[in-house]
Structure 1
Amino acid sequence: MSHASLAFTLADWQQAYRDAAQPAELLHGLLASLDTADNAWISLASAAQLDAQLGDLQALLDQAEGQQSKLPLYGVPFAIKDNIDAAGWATTAACPEFAYAAETDATVVARLRAAGAILIGKTNLDQFATGLVGTRSPHGAVVNSFNADYVSGGSSSGSASVVARGLVPFSLGTDTAGSGRVPAGFNNIVGLKPTKGWLPNTGLVPACRTVDCISIFALTVGDAETVAGIAGGYDAADAYSRQNPNSAPVGMKAAPSFAVPDSLEFFGDTLTQAVFEQALEQLKSLGVTLKTIDFSPFRQLAEQLYYGPWVAERTVAVEGVDPAHIDPVVRGIVENGHRYSACDAYKAEYLRAELSRTINDALTGFDALVVPTSPTIRSLAEMQQEPVLFNSQFGTYTNFTNLADLSALALPAGLRGDGLPAGITLLAPAWHDRALAAFGNRWQASLELPLGATGRALPPQTAATAIPAGSVRVAVVGAHLTGMPLNFQLTTRDAVLVEQTLTSPHYRLYALAGTVPPKPGLARSSDGTSIIVELWDIPLARFGEFVAEIPAPLGIGNLTLADGRSVKGFICEPWALSDARDITSFGGWRAFIASTKK
């Protein structure tokens, strides 16, 4: 594999195969180029394992009748944190004495492989996913991809490192307290921490089973979102898996409103603070309104994860493991779980529920909360001096997330004065993942930072035209347009404006008689023209409410757009057109309304 193919995004891999590159050649070349002494890896695919996967890939392609486009991850290499199962591989959780041979793929791994992805290796981690530092492993500390004197962040240290260095385009990590976000911030990559239960945990060695999330690292937001869409979805085998209610927004308005903590703590790290303050200015330049909110409930909930009975979940997770085989720092943490009673646990759950409600109520009316991904970064030497305190600092803006049932997206924000990366994280209620990604794409394009530690520029991002999963795209033509009297029926249901466009040239527009507020009727006609419409994505679960409010003679049918797309849209029953005024010549409702006011 040529060095030029490092730092490939999903689009680059897809293009390489369209250009007739062969998976066996590229992937054997990639495998041969990887350093077995690189401690970001715990295990790499053997030549035989790779060949077996290539055989499976060919079988998938045959089933797809040779159409690579039916396999969105065709021949794309990826890595997984070594607390996630892959059939035929050992799962170690960075504890060799705990290791076992996995007989089946974790559900997320099976789904990625079914889409054509090829597992190239399993990555190093803070043992049993306990830590945010990347130093608590018998395989040694995974160093920062920008400066080897500094930590990479954890616990998903290896998964972040191999993506940041462009060895694979995406990897799976896990996130209980921030392990899918802190390493992303420290390595200038994207970390998608999904809504709890969206990506199934079947085949995951648990850390805190009630709050664990399998997470995704990628070079771009679009790639992370694509992978999540493939790996996510309900899994009956996971007791904590959930169905997406499809009631949350799937995009974000052009001028969103973000909450910011009213008190920010950087522990004296002025370099990280400067990047965050610069990021807030950049957000304003993108049209974001910022407003401070009381951060104390977030902080109080964050403290529960390591300094309350929740630590007993980690104790349960390592039951049966000889304490002598556990990293001393990790052992010290998990042994604390024995201090708490069942009464303590219930009291902690009541507090969690109360604080979670307070937090979610505080975020009402905002599109997201923006925080530093980590308030500071530490050198390996510093970490040895204060392994618990500095780890705790890293979790300041992450530890509360899963306890409060929030979705999160860690984004690169810039390089500090010393050249180390710093990041921001956007947080929102459960199932707002796609809305966060929609803004994350805008953010990443606006910064034009290099991809990870590769030095490669962000490639041009193509605008998404596909209708997001969990939504219905509706064309509105009259009183529901932006600024018109009934637009609130869309915005109060978290619908998001996608674009203004035209119908195909086969429609006529009429001003209906006696409607309040005034409404038009759109009718298909052989001698019609193109009419201006707005396209809105409305959450699937809210679509029925919206349709229920539409009065006769209007209804919802299928409209054809000028570019051939078909979307849901307003149509009118023919009987109402006999006494309606034909206003087709205006080309759209706005122009007609303007003419009535002259």
Structure 2
Amino acid sequence: MASDASRSRDEAKHVTETVAAIVAAHRAGTMTPAQTVARSYQRIREHNDPAIFISLRDEKDALAEAERLADPTLPLYGVPVAVKDNIDVAGLPTTAACPAFSYLPEQDSTVVAKLRAAGAVIIGKTNLDQFATGLVGVRSPYGIPRNPVRGDLVPGGSSSGSAVAVSAGLVPLSLGTDTAGSGRVPAMLNNIVGLKPSLGLISTTGVVPACRTLDCVSIFSLTADDALAALAVMSGPDQSDPYSRDRALAPLASFPAKLKLGIPQTGQLKFFGDREAEEAYGEACKRWQALGANLVEFDLAPFYETARLLYEGPWVAERYLVIRDLLASSPEAVHPVTREITVGGSRPTAADTFSALYRLEALRRVAERSLAQLDAIVLPTAPTVYSTADVLANPIELNSRLGTYTNFVNLLDMCGLALPAAMRPDGAPFGITLLARAGRDAELAGIGRVFHADTGLTLGANSLPQPPLTAAPTQAGSDDITIAVVGAHLSGMALNHELTTLDARLLEEAVTAPDYRLYALDTTPPKPGMLRIEAGAGAAIKLELWAMSPAAFGTFVAAIPPPLSIGTIRLADGRQAKGFIVEPAAIQGAKDISAYGGWRAFMAERAKA
């Protein structure tokens, strides 16, 4: 009899292995989470590159976790995930690619805990440029991951192992970090998507800092839709992270009818003599125009000046702070290039720091004026590509060149989405990055997904075809208010007429985050009460989203009787909506019906009794 692992390998030939396809297969029963996890381990063995992962979970433990998953409504149900080894995973060492720095965390980082709560299964910890200092992926005592797209090229860093793991098909989703471009440059070099979120949107609690004021956790995936789905799960405020921001993630939007994209003024782009990259960027701009975008020139000079502040200014001192004790006690434990860069952080004075902060604030104002009239700007992700041999011979200068279009982004509080754009005639991948003001992450995904689909490029290094592009979900009108209903107001239920008589429109079915308990209240007609509890400690409850005019919403809310009221409901995909919640005092003695997953299932069971 064939093993689960062998069966999963056979079935893998017929699956487009995006996150969305894997979750759909698990829900349909054509694959199980355990089969998918076993497939990842088998592929890691077959790929046979020991430099990708610094540590792997015991396969039996990962399979047991996958087998325990019992809720197919979880947004990442059974999805294998790799995690950059500067992000804590309980029970696996965090090394930051420095054995002398290694420690064993007792608990997951906030972001890993959220992934697990959403149904993801952590596979292992991936290699990186030591202490996340570098864009090349060659500064690690654990080896250099092979670039699976073109073997002589650097894999890109600092999130090298995470990007390679997705491109090679070992996992469909991985976490990196991005301070100066580490979530974007590796995406380009591996022909995958790299999402760099707005600062503070994802908690960095449990992440080894590089520059603490600028760090963010980034996402690698095969499609923009997968990246946004992961972002929705991981985003949200965290009281344990002083840099966390309470920024609600907007829903995925349709491609705008009048898209305005900024491109640099003539002569401002740098390609360092790489004509193929220059031509590929020109072709990408033509593609945007064919999609209906209006390209508007802007001045890139202030952005270049901001980029120079990152390594020529006092922000290097943040990197120095992280490892100064190690540099003092065991300098030989630090990679020579990392040591050379980081030691420079001991020199800036307080006066230097304030001077740089003043200049940065002025540059931010200039950048804001440039961005105010644009939906986004589009730049090459990197100006060129380099071989591993070239980078080892000239490590600092060539690394710096790769950050030409990335180093300024976090200093200016922008979000970014790196997308594959072309395969060059020489076999190297080329990518572009969309950049926008903070908080526009979902808008970039809505724009970028259409561009990526239009390229027709295959996914990663394995020539997987892109899945058909699905339509963006129906959106409420610009003035409408979205309300989540969980009980008697559901379509076809006893009180649904209270919505329809106010001309409310059904938008979609949805599911809450696993943060709630549902109770059957003693009311006429029967109604449930949904109570929010600790994040991840409850159940995911099915509901419907309806759109109402502001006037209708006011009329509707005014008629809601106690113990129900309207609060903010967090959905499984990270969105938020106004919806029904119950006063805690009202659940005393009420039946907990959370296990039904929703009011319809409970009422259907009750009707049979």
TM range (shorter): 0.7 to 0.9
* 2:366 paired with 1:358: yes
* Alpha carbons of structure 1 residues 75 and 341: separation in structure 2 relative to 1, 3 Å: same
Find the aligned partners of 2:269 and 2:36 in 1 and give their Cα distance.
46
Give 1:569's aligned residue. Answer: 549
* Alpha carbons of structure 1 residues 101 and 72: separation in structure 2 relative to 1, 3 Å: same
| The one of 20, 38, 59 aligned to 1:28 | 38
Does the CA-based 8 Å contact 2:129-2:157 persist in structure 1?
A: yes
Give 1:68's aligned residue. Answer: 72
Find the aligned partners of 1:265 and 1:369 in 2 and give their Cα distance.
16
Find the aligned partners of 1:307 and 1:242 in 2 and give their Cα distance.
28
* Alpha carbons of structure 1 residues 10 and 37: separation in structure 2 relative to 1, 3 Å: closer
* Matched residue SS, 1:446: helix
Give 1:271's aligned residue. Answer: 276
Find the aligned partners of 2:436 and 2:369 in 1 and give their Cα distance.
11
* Alpha carbons of structure 1 residues 525 and 29: separation in structure 2 relative to 1, 3 Å: closer
Give 1:14's aligned residue. Answer: 23
* Matched residue SS, 2:372: coil
Does the CA-based 8 Å contact 1:252-1:367 persist in structure 2?
A: no
Aligned residues: 485
Find the aligned partners of 2:249 and 2:283 in 1 and give their Cα distance.
35
| The one of 287, 292, 295 aligned to 2:297 | 292
Find the aligned partners of 1:106 and 1:572 in 2 and give their Cα distance.
43
Does the CA-based 8 Å contact 1:155-1:179 persist in structure 2?
A: yes
Find the aligned partners of 1:105 and 1:462 in 2 and give their Cα distance.
34
Shift of 1:249: 10
Report the structure number with the largest CA radius of gyration: 1
Give 2:98's aligned residue. Answer: 95
Does the CA-based 8 Å contact 1:274-1:416 persist in structure 2?
A: no
Give 1:41's aligned residue. Answer: 53
Give 1:367's aligned residue. Answer: 375
After superposition, give the CA deviation of every residue in 1:417-438 in whole Å (9 maximum; x if it has no partner).
Answer: 1011010000000001011011
Aligned pairs for 1:422-461 within 5 A = 422-461=430-469
Give 2:421's aligned residue. Answer: 413
* Matched residue SS, 1:200: coil
Does the CA-based 8 Å contact 1:133-1:152 persist in structure 2?
A: yes
Give 2:586's aligned residue. Answer: none
* 2:325 paired with 1:313: no
* Alpha carbons of structure 1 residues 246 and 76: separation in structure 2 relative to 1, 3 Å: closer
| TM-score of the pair, normalised by structure 1 | 0.77
* 2:185 paired with 1:182: yes
* Matched residue SS, 2:187: helix
* Alpha carbons of structure 1 residues 320 and 534: separation in structure 2 relative to 1, 3 Å: same
Aligned pairs for 1:139-158 within 5 A = 139-158=142-161
* Alpha carbons of structure 1 residues 89 and 534: separation in structure 2 relative to 1, 3 Å: closer
Give 2:412's aligned residue. Answer: 404
* Alpha carbons of structure 1 residues 175 and 128: separation in structure 2 relative to 1, 3 Å: same
Give 1:166's aligned residue. Answer: 169
Find the aligned partners of 1:23 and 1:248 in 2 and give their Cα distance.
27
* 2:123 paired with 1:120: yes
Find the aligned partners of 1:327 and 1:5 in 2 and give their Cα distance.
39
Find the aligned partners of 1:475 and 1:248 in 2 and give their Cα distance.
15
* Alpha carbons of structure 1 residues 79 and 473: separation in structure 2 relative to 1, 3 Å: farther
Shift of 1:26: 3.1
* Matched residue SS, 1:234: coil
Find the aligned partners of 2:317 and 2:545 in 1 and give their Cα distance.
54
Does the CA-based 8 Å contact 1:474-1:568 persist in structure 2?
A: no
Shift of 1:159: 0.4
What is the one-letter code of the residue matched to 1:135?
Answer: V
* Alpha carbons of structure 1 residues 83 and 435: separation in structure 2 relative to 1, 3 Å: same
Does the CA-based 8 Å contact 2:413-2:438 persist in structure 1?
A: yes
Does the CA-based 8 Å contact 2:252-2:472 persist in structure 1?
A: no
After superposition, give the CA deviation of every residue in 1:520-577 in whole Å (9 maximum; x if it has no partner).
Answer: xxx9789xxx99x999xxxxxxxxxxxxxxxxxxxxxxxxxxxx9731237799xxxx
Shift of 1:245: 6.3
What is the one-letter code of the residue matched to 1:230?
Answer: V
Find the aligned partners of 2:428 and 2:197 in 1 and give their Cα distance.
26
Does the CA-based 8 Å contact 2:262-2:296 persist in structure 1?
A: yes
* Alpha carbons of structure 1 residues 245 and 223: separation in structure 2 relative to 1, 3 Å: closer
Aligned pairs for 1:327-346 within 5 A = 327-346=335-354
* 2:218 paired with 1:210: no
Shift of 1:54: 3.0
Give 1:546's aligned residue. Answer: none
| The one of 99, 111, 116 aligned to 2:114 | 111
What are structure 2's unaligned runs of at least 5 residues?
1-7, 482-490, 492-498, 508-543, 554-609
What is the one-letter code of the residue matched to 2:9?
Answer: S
Give 1:53's aligned residue. Answer: 65
Shift of 1:350: 1.1
Find the aligned partners of 1:442 and 1:339 in 2 and give their Cα distance.
46
* Matched residue SS, 1:2: helix
After superposition, give the CA deviation of every residue in 1:319-377 in whole Å (9 maximum; x if it has no partner).
Answer: 22221100000000000011211111111111111111211221111000110000011
After superposition, give the CA deviation of every residue in 1:137-165 in whole Å (9 maximum; x if it has no partner).
Answer: 11122232211111111000110001011
Shift of 1:473: 4.3
What is the one-letter code of the residue matched to 2:101?
Answer: F
Find the aligned partners of 1:337 and 1:565 in 2 and give their Cα distance.
51
| TM-score of the pair, normalised by structure 2 | 0.75
* 2:12 paired with 1:5: yes
* Alpha carbons of structure 1 residues 431 and 40: separation in structure 2 relative to 1, 3 Å: same
* Alpha carbons of structure 1 residues 196 and 524: separation in structure 2 relative to 1, 3 Å: closer
What is the one-letter code of the residue matched to 1:25?
Answer: Q
Find the aligned partners of 1:363 and 1:148 in 2 and give their Cα distance.
38
* Alpha carbons of structure 1 residues 142 and 3: separation in structure 2 relative to 1, 3 Å: farther
Give 1:79's aligned residue. Answer: 82
What is the one-letter code of the residue matched to 2:549?
Answer: G
Does the CA-based 8 Å contact 1:249-1:432 persist in structure 2?
A: no
Give 2:573's aligned residue. Answer: none
* Alpha carbons of structure 1 residues 248 and 270: separation in structure 2 relative to 1, 3 Å: same
* Matched residue SS, 1:122: strand
* Matched residue SS, 2:325: coil
Aligned pairs for 1:197-596 within 5 A = 197-244=200-247, 253-262=256-265, 263-321=268-326, 322-465=330-473, 467=475, 473-474=477-478, 566-569=546-549
Does the CA-based 8 Å contact 1:265-1:375 persist in structure 2?
A: yes
Find the aligned partners of 1:146 and 1:572 in 2 and give their Cα distance.
55
Find the aligned partners of 2:321 and 2:254 in 1 and give their Cα distance.
39
* Alpha carbons of structure 1 residues 168 and 340: separation in structure 2 relative to 1, 3 Å: same
* Matched residue SS, 1:350: helix
* Matched residue SS, 2:282: helix
Give 1:582's aligned residue. Answer: none
Matched residues, percent identical?
45
Give 2:560's aligned residue. Answer: none
Shift of 1:192: 0.3
CA RMSD of aligned residues (A): 2.7
What is the one-letter code of the residue matched to 1:143?
Answer: R
